[in-house]
Amino acid sequence: MNSCVLKDVSYKAIEMFCGIGGFRIAFDDAEIKTIYANDISSDACKVYRDNFGKDILVQGDIKQQKYHIPDHDILTAGFPCQPFSSAGQKKGICDPRGTLFLEIIDVIASHTPKYFILENVRRILSMQNGKHFSTILFELSKLPYIIEWRVINAAHFGLAQSRERIFIIGTHIDSDIAMPYVKLINENDLTHVLRTKYDMFKDYRNWKNISQYEKFFPLWGVAFQEKFFGYSPEDFSEKMPLRTLRTVLQENADSSFDYTEETLERIKQSTLVNRYFNGVQILYNQGGGARMGYTIFGTDGIASTLTASTSRHYERYLINNRYRRLTNTEYARLQGFPDDHCKAVSVYDQYALYGNAVPPQMVKWVLKKLLSEGQTYFQEPNQRQLLQLSLEN
Protein backbone atom coordinates (compact mmCIF):
# COMPACT_ATOMS: atom_id res chain seq x y z
CA MET A 1 0.00 0.00 0.00
CA ASN A 2 2.82 2.42 0.82
CA SER A 3 5.76 2.48 -1.54
CA CYS A 4 8.76 4.40 -0.26
CA VAL A 5 10.84 4.19 -3.44
CA LEU A 6 11.66 7.51 -5.08
CA LYS A 7 9.84 7.96 -8.35
CA ASP A 8 11.85 7.79 -11.55
CA VAL A 9 11.50 11.50 -12.23
CA SER A 10 14.05 14.28 -12.52
CA TYR A 11 13.25 16.96 -9.96
CA LYS A 12 14.73 20.42 -9.49
CA ALA A 13 14.87 21.87 -5.98
CA ILE A 14 15.52 25.22 -4.32
CA GLU A 15 16.58 26.07 -0.77
CA MET A 16 15.26 29.14 1.00
CA PHE A 17 17.18 29.96 4.22
CA CYS A 18 19.68 27.27 3.19
CA GLY A 19 22.06 27.68 6.14
CA ILE A 20 24.98 25.29 5.85
CA GLY A 21 23.15 22.90 3.54
CA GLY A 22 21.37 20.22 5.56
CA PHE A 23 18.70 19.96 2.88
CA ARG A 24 21.33 20.06 0.14
CA ILE A 25 23.19 17.00 1.47
CA ALA A 26 19.98 14.97 1.62
CA PHE A 27 18.92 16.04 -1.88
CA ASP A 28 22.36 15.33 -3.35
CA ASP A 29 22.21 11.83 -1.87
CA ALA A 30 18.80 11.34 -3.52
CA GLU A 31 20.25 12.60 -6.83
CA ILE A 32 17.87 15.56 -6.89
CA LYS A 33 19.44 18.67 -8.41
CA THR A 34 19.41 21.86 -6.35
CA ILE A 35 19.29 24.83 -8.72
CA TYR A 36 19.02 27.75 -6.30
CA ALA A 37 19.96 28.48 -2.67
CA ASN A 38 19.69 31.63 -0.57
CA ASP A 39 20.72 32.80 2.88
CA ILE A 40 21.45 36.17 4.45
CA SER A 41 24.17 34.93 6.84
CA SER A 42 27.70 35.55 5.56
CA ASP A 43 29.12 32.73 7.70
CA ALA A 44 26.51 30.24 6.48
CA CYS A 45 27.21 31.26 2.88
CA LYS A 46 30.96 30.79 3.36
CA VAL A 47 30.32 27.23 4.51
CA TYR A 48 27.80 26.54 1.74
CA ARG A 49 30.19 27.76 -0.97
CA ASP A 50 33.06 25.79 0.53
CA ASN A 51 31.09 22.54 0.35
CA PHE A 52 28.87 22.97 -2.71
CA GLY A 53 30.42 25.70 -4.84
CA LYS A 54 29.20 29.21 -5.56
CA ASP A 55 27.22 28.75 -8.78
CA ILE A 56 23.69 28.55 -7.33
CA LEU A 57 24.08 30.36 -4.01
CA VAL A 58 22.68 33.89 -3.72
CA GLN A 59 23.52 35.75 -0.53
CA GLY A 60 21.11 38.44 0.62
CA ASP A 61 17.67 39.33 1.95
CA ILE A 62 15.06 36.92 0.59
CA LYS A 63 12.55 39.78 0.37
CA GLN A 64 14.58 41.18 -2.52
CA GLN A 65 16.02 37.95 -3.89
CA LYS A 66 12.73 36.04 -4.18
CA TYR A 67 11.93 37.70 -7.52
CA HIS A 68 14.90 35.92 -9.09
CA ILE A 69 14.05 32.40 -7.93
CA PRO A 70 13.80 30.02 -10.91
CA ASP A 71 10.96 27.59 -11.50
CA HIS A 72 11.36 24.39 -9.52
CA ASP A 73 9.65 21.15 -8.52
CA ILE A 74 10.50 21.06 -4.80
CA LEU A 75 10.83 24.01 -2.43
CA THR A 76 12.63 23.58 0.89
CA ALA A 77 12.91 26.05 3.74
CA GLY A 78 14.22 25.71 7.26
CA PHE A 79 12.75 29.11 7.99
CA PRO A 80 14.28 31.06 10.91
CA CYS A 81 13.37 29.30 14.14
CA GLN A 82 14.61 31.84 16.71
CA PRO A 83 11.19 33.57 16.83
CA PHE A 84 9.69 30.27 17.97
CA SER A 85 12.54 28.57 19.85
CA SER A 86 12.47 27.92 23.60
CA ALA A 87 16.09 29.17 23.62
CA GLY A 88 15.09 32.51 22.07
CA GLN A 89 12.70 35.30 23.05
CA LYS A 90 9.63 33.38 21.79
CA LYS A 91 8.07 36.28 19.88
CA GLY A 92 6.86 34.07 17.03
CA ILE A 93 4.91 35.80 14.28
CA CYS A 94 5.34 39.09 16.20
CA ASP A 95 9.10 38.88 15.51
CA PRO A 96 10.16 40.39 12.14
CA ARG A 97 11.97 37.13 11.39
CA GLY A 98 8.70 35.29 11.92
CA THR A 99 7.16 37.25 9.06
CA LEU A 100 9.74 35.70 6.74
CA PHE A 101 7.34 32.80 6.61
CA LEU A 102 5.12 34.95 4.40
CA GLU A 103 7.97 35.10 1.88
CA ILE A 104 7.71 31.32 1.60
CA ILE A 105 3.99 31.63 0.95
CA ASP A 106 4.67 34.16 -1.82
CA VAL A 107 7.19 31.90 -3.55
CA ILE A 108 4.95 28.83 -3.33
CA ALA A 109 1.99 30.79 -4.68
CA SER A 110 3.95 32.28 -7.57
CA HIS A 111 5.89 29.17 -8.62
CA THR A 112 3.45 26.38 -7.61
CA PRO A 113 6.09 23.68 -7.11
CA LYS A 114 4.85 20.11 -7.02
CA TYR A 115 6.11 19.67 -3.44
CA PHE A 116 7.51 21.64 -0.54
CA ILE A 117 9.22 20.76 2.75
CA LEU A 118 9.39 23.22 5.65
CA GLU A 119 11.19 22.67 8.95
CA ASN A 120 11.08 24.37 12.34
CA VAL A 121 11.13 23.76 16.08
CA ARG A 122 8.42 21.76 17.82
CA ARG A 123 7.56 24.76 19.97
CA ILE A 124 5.54 26.47 17.23
CA LEU A 125 2.75 23.91 17.84
CA SER A 126 2.12 25.23 21.34
CA MET A 127 3.11 28.91 21.38
CA GLN A 128 0.24 31.10 22.61
CA ASN A 129 -2.12 28.13 22.68
CA GLY A 130 -1.38 27.22 19.10
CA LYS A 131 -1.92 30.70 17.66
CA HIS A 132 1.38 30.80 15.79
CA PHE A 133 1.00 27.41 14.16
CA SER A 134 -2.62 28.18 13.38
CA THR A 135 -1.46 31.24 11.44
CA ILE A 136 1.14 29.22 9.53
CA LEU A 137 -1.18 26.30 8.81
CA PHE A 138 -4.08 28.53 7.78
CA GLU A 139 -1.98 30.36 5.20
CA LEU A 140 -0.57 27.12 3.79
CA SER A 141 -3.96 25.43 3.66
CA LYS A 142 -5.40 28.17 1.46
CA LEU A 143 -2.96 27.13 -1.25
CA PRO A 144 -3.89 24.24 -3.60
CA TYR A 145 -1.88 21.70 -1.61
CA ILE A 146 -2.50 18.78 0.67
CA ILE A 147 -0.58 19.73 3.84
CA GLU A 148 0.81 17.25 6.33
CA TRP A 149 3.07 17.76 9.33
CA ARG A 150 4.82 15.63 11.88
CA VAL A 151 7.21 16.09 14.80
CA ILE A 152 10.19 13.74 14.63
CA ASN A 153 13.33 13.40 16.73
CA ALA A 154 16.93 13.26 15.48
CA ALA A 155 17.58 10.52 18.02
CA HIS A 156 15.29 8.24 16.00
CA PHE A 157 17.58 8.50 12.98
CA GLY A 158 20.88 7.37 14.46
CA LEU A 159 21.99 10.74 15.84
CA ALA A 160 22.99 10.96 19.50
CA GLN A 161 20.94 14.06 20.18
CA SER A 162 17.46 14.84 21.48
CA ARG A 163 16.28 17.20 18.76
CA GLU A 164 12.55 17.39 18.05
CA ARG A 165 11.64 19.21 14.87
CA ILE A 166 8.42 19.70 12.97
CA PHE A 167 8.44 19.01 9.23
CA ILE A 168 5.59 20.36 7.11
CA ILE A 169 5.14 18.92 3.63
CA GLY A 170 2.87 19.97 0.82
CA THR A 171 1.75 18.07 -2.29
CA HIS A 172 0.19 20.12 -5.07
CA ILE A 173 -3.31 19.14 -6.12
CA ASP A 174 -3.35 18.34 -9.83
CA SER A 175 -5.09 15.98 -12.20
CA ASP A 176 -3.22 13.01 -10.75
CA ILE A 177 -4.12 13.71 -7.12
CA ALA A 178 -7.79 14.06 -6.24
CA MET A 179 -7.71 13.31 -2.52
CA PRO A 180 -5.39 13.62 0.50
CA TYR A 181 -2.59 11.10 0.82
CA VAL A 182 -1.01 10.32 4.17
CA LYS A 183 2.76 10.08 3.94
CA LEU A 184 4.46 10.96 7.24
CA ILE A 185 2.68 8.34 9.33
CA ASN A 186 2.44 4.66 8.47
CA GLU A 187 -0.21 2.04 9.11
CA ASN A 188 1.33 0.94 12.41
CA ASP A 189 1.31 4.48 13.76
CA LEU A 190 -2.23 5.02 12.50
CA THR A 191 -3.65 1.96 14.25
CA HIS A 192 -5.11 3.95 17.12
CA VAL A 193 -6.57 6.58 14.79
CA LEU A 194 -8.27 3.99 12.61
CA ARG A 195 -9.65 2.20 15.63
CA THR A 196 -11.11 5.20 17.46
CA LYS A 197 -11.38 8.15 15.08
CA TYR A 198 -11.71 6.67 11.61
CA ASP A 199 -15.16 8.12 10.94
CA MET A 200 -13.91 11.60 11.81
CA PHE A 201 -10.67 11.15 9.88
CA LYS A 202 -12.23 9.92 6.64
CA ASP A 203 -14.86 12.67 6.37
CA TYR A 204 -13.44 16.09 5.56
CA ARG A 205 -16.64 17.76 6.81
CA ASN A 206 -15.76 16.68 10.37
CA TRP A 207 -12.29 18.21 10.33
CA LYS A 208 -11.62 21.20 12.60
CA ASN A 209 -11.51 24.78 11.36
CA ILE A 210 -7.94 25.99 11.61
CA SER A 211 -8.78 29.64 12.29
CA GLN A 212 -11.02 28.70 15.22
CA TYR A 213 -8.60 26.30 16.88
CA GLU A 214 -6.95 27.71 20.00
CA LYS A 215 -5.17 24.77 21.59
CA PHE A 216 -1.84 23.00 21.35
CA PHE A 217 -1.69 21.32 17.97
CA PRO A 218 -1.09 17.55 17.83
CA LEU A 219 2.25 16.09 16.74
CA TRP A 220 0.90 14.85 13.40
CA GLY A 221 -1.85 16.07 11.13
CA VAL A 222 -3.19 16.80 7.67
CA ALA A 223 -4.77 20.02 6.44
CA PHE A 224 -6.67 21.12 3.37
CA GLN A 225 -8.67 24.23 2.48
CA GLU A 226 -8.58 25.82 5.97
CA LYS A 227 -9.47 22.63 7.88
CA PHE A 228 -7.35 19.97 9.56
CA PHE A 229 -7.34 16.62 11.30
CA GLY A 230 -4.61 15.81 13.83
CA TYR A 231 -3.43 13.19 16.25
CA SER A 232 -0.39 12.61 18.48
CA PRO A 233 1.11 9.15 17.85
CA GLU A 234 2.28 7.29 20.92
CA ASP A 235 5.61 6.33 19.37
CA PHE A 236 7.71 6.45 16.21
CA SER A 237 7.66 2.93 14.81
CA GLU A 238 10.49 3.42 12.30
CA LYS A 239 13.17 4.56 14.74
CA MET A 240 16.73 3.26 14.61
CA PRO A 241 18.56 1.90 17.69
CA LEU A 242 19.52 4.68 20.09
CA ARG A 243 23.12 5.89 19.96
CA THR A 244 24.72 7.45 23.03
CA LEU A 245 26.85 10.54 23.19
CA ARG A 246 29.90 8.37 23.80
CA THR A 247 29.78 7.16 20.19
CA VAL A 248 30.56 10.60 18.72
CA LEU A 249 33.22 11.85 21.14
CA GLN A 250 36.66 12.87 19.93
CA GLU A 251 39.64 11.20 21.50
CA ASN A 252 42.15 13.55 23.12
CA ALA A 253 40.15 16.74 22.61
CA ASP A 254 42.24 19.89 22.84
CA SER A 255 42.64 21.38 26.32
CA SER A 256 41.03 24.64 25.10
CA PHE A 257 37.65 22.90 25.53
CA ASP A 258 38.44 21.99 29.15
CA TYR A 259 36.69 23.49 32.20
CA THR A 260 37.81 20.98 34.80
CA GLU A 261 39.23 23.21 37.53
CA GLU A 262 36.42 25.77 37.40
CA THR A 263 33.78 23.04 37.30
CA LEU A 264 35.16 21.20 40.31
CA GLU A 265 34.68 24.36 42.34
CA ARG A 266 31.14 24.92 41.06
CA ILE A 267 30.16 21.33 41.85
CA LYS A 268 30.58 22.15 45.54
CA GLN A 269 27.47 24.34 45.26
CA SER A 270 25.61 22.00 42.92
CA THR A 271 23.20 19.13 43.53
CA LEU A 272 23.94 15.57 42.47
CA VAL A 273 21.13 14.50 40.13
CA ASN A 274 22.41 11.54 38.10
CA ARG A 275 19.20 10.81 36.22
CA TYR A 276 17.91 10.90 32.66
CA PHE A 277 15.54 13.42 31.14
CA ASN A 278 14.36 12.76 27.56
CA GLY A 279 17.32 10.45 27.18
CA VAL A 280 19.84 13.06 28.36
CA GLN A 281 22.02 12.11 31.34
CA ILE A 282 22.13 14.91 33.92
CA LEU A 283 24.81 14.54 36.59
CA TYR A 284 24.68 17.84 38.51
CA ASN A 285 22.88 21.14 38.60
CA GLN A 286 22.08 23.89 41.05
CA GLY A 287 18.38 23.19 41.44
CA GLY A 288 18.18 19.42 41.33
CA GLY A 289 15.72 19.45 38.44
CA ALA A 290 15.99 18.54 34.80
CA ARG A 291 17.76 21.70 33.71
CA MET A 292 18.19 24.45 36.27
CA GLY A 293 21.16 26.73 36.67
CA TYR A 294 24.62 25.22 36.34
CA THR A 295 24.13 21.82 34.69
CA ILE A 296 26.69 19.08 34.07
CA PHE A 297 25.84 16.30 31.65
CA GLY A 298 27.05 12.74 31.30
CA THR A 299 27.77 10.75 28.15
CA ASP A 300 25.79 7.56 28.79
CA GLY A 301 22.69 9.20 27.33
CA ILE A 302 22.20 11.44 24.31
CA ALA A 303 23.07 15.11 23.98
CA SER A 304 20.50 17.77 24.74
CA THR A 305 19.27 19.83 21.78
CA LEU A 306 22.05 21.83 20.15
CA THR A 307 21.08 25.45 19.60
CA ALA A 308 22.50 28.64 18.11
CA SER A 309 22.47 30.23 21.58
CA THR A 310 26.01 31.19 22.63
CA SER A 311 25.46 30.29 26.29
CA ARG A 312 24.51 26.74 25.35
CA HIS A 313 27.83 26.19 23.57
CA TYR A 314 29.61 26.23 26.94
CA GLU A 315 27.66 23.50 28.71
CA ARG A 316 29.80 21.11 30.72
CA TYR A 317 30.08 17.37 30.11
CA LEU A 318 31.98 14.83 32.19
CA ILE A 319 34.16 13.06 29.61
CA ASN A 320 36.96 10.69 30.63
CA ASN A 321 37.35 12.35 34.05
CA ARG A 322 37.49 15.81 32.45
CA TYR A 323 34.83 18.47 32.53
CA ARG A 324 34.68 20.14 29.16
CA ARG A 325 32.35 21.50 26.50
CA LEU A 326 31.64 19.57 23.34
CA THR A 327 34.00 20.31 20.45
CA ASN A 328 32.93 21.76 17.13
CA THR A 329 33.64 18.37 15.54
CA GLU A 330 31.34 16.67 18.03
CA TYR A 331 28.66 19.23 17.16
CA ALA A 332 29.05 18.27 13.50
CA ARG A 333 28.64 14.58 14.30
CA LEU A 334 25.61 15.17 16.52
CA GLN A 335 23.97 17.04 13.63
CA GLY A 336 24.89 14.42 11.04
CA PHE A 337 27.44 16.49 9.10
CA PRO A 338 31.01 15.58 8.06
CA ASP A 339 33.59 16.49 10.71
CA ASP A 340 35.05 19.39 8.73
CA HIS A 341 31.86 20.67 7.11
CA CYS A 342 32.21 24.15 8.66
CA LYS A 343 35.98 24.50 8.31
CA ALA A 344 35.56 27.72 6.30
CA VAL A 345 34.75 29.67 9.48
CA SER A 346 36.24 29.91 12.97
CA VAL A 347 35.68 27.23 15.60
CA TYR A 348 33.64 29.72 17.63
CA ASP A 349 31.33 30.53 14.71
CA GLN A 350 30.83 26.85 13.86
CA TYR A 351 28.76 26.26 17.00
CA ALA A 352 25.95 28.62 16.00
CA LEU A 353 25.91 27.32 12.42
CA TYR A 354 25.60 23.71 13.52
CA GLY A 355 23.06 24.67 16.17
CA ASN A 356 20.89 26.31 13.51
CA ALA A 357 21.19 23.49 10.98
CA VAL A 358 18.75 20.76 10.00
CA PRO A 359 20.21 17.24 10.26
CA PRO A 360 20.43 15.67 6.77
CA GLN A 361 19.28 12.29 8.13
CA MET A 362 15.93 13.76 9.15
CA VAL A 363 15.50 15.40 5.75
CA LYS A 364 16.30 12.12 3.97
CA TRP A 365 13.47 10.36 5.78
CA VAL A 366 10.99 13.16 5.07
CA LEU A 367 12.02 13.41 1.42
CA LYS A 368 11.63 9.68 0.93
CA LYS A 369 8.15 9.81 2.43
CA LEU A 370 7.18 12.88 0.43
CA LEU A 371 8.07 11.24 -2.89
CA SER A 372 6.41 7.96 -2.02
CA GLU A 373 2.95 6.97 -3.20
CA GLY A 374 1.58 7.41 0.29
CA GLN A 375 -1.64 5.99 1.67
CA THR A 376 -5.19 7.19 1.40
CA TYR A 377 -8.25 6.40 3.50
CA PHE A 378 -10.58 8.59 1.46
CA GLN A 379 -12.06 6.00 -0.86
CA GLU A 380 -15.73 7.01 -0.80
CA PRO A 381 -16.86 8.73 -4.05
CA ASN A 382 -18.75 11.46 -2.19
CA GLN A 383 -15.59 12.26 -0.22
CA ARG A 384 -13.57 12.77 -3.39
CA GLN A 385 -16.29 14.97 -4.83
CA LEU A 386 -16.42 17.06 -1.66
CA LEU A 387 -12.69 17.67 -1.73
CA GLN A 388 -12.77 18.57 -5.40
CA LEU A 389 -15.59 21.06 -4.83
CA SER A 390 -13.65 22.62 -1.95
CA LEU A 391 -10.68 23.11 -4.24
CA GLU A 392 -12.73 24.58 -7.07
CA ASN A 393 -14.44 27.04 -4.75
> Could you list the active site residues?
81
- Rounded Cα–Cα distance for residues 147 and 170 (Å): 5
C-alpha distances (whole Å) from 142 to each of 109, 170, 220 are: 10, 12, 19
Which are the contacts of 50, defined by CB distance < 8 A and separation ≥ 6? 343, 344
DSSP conformation class of 96:
T
Strand ranges (E), the chain:
12-16, 33-39, 57-59, 74-77, 115-121, 145-153, 164-172, 208-209, 220-224, 227-231, 271-277, 280-285, 296-297, 316-319, 322-324
- Rounded Cα–Cα distance for residues 24 and 338 (Å): 13
Sheet holding 33-39, edge to edge: 57-59, 33-39, 12-16, 74-77, 115-121, 164-172, 145-153, 220-224, 227-231, 208-209
Question: Using only C-alpha atoms, what is the Rg of the chain?
Answer: 22
Angle between helices 131-141 and 101-111 (to 10 degrees): 10
Task: Give the type of residue at 220.
Answer: W
Q: Are 374 and 178 in contact (CB under 8 A)?
A: no
Angle between helices 22-29 and 42-52 (to 10 degrees): 20
Q: How many CB atoms lie within 10 A of CB 8?
A: 5
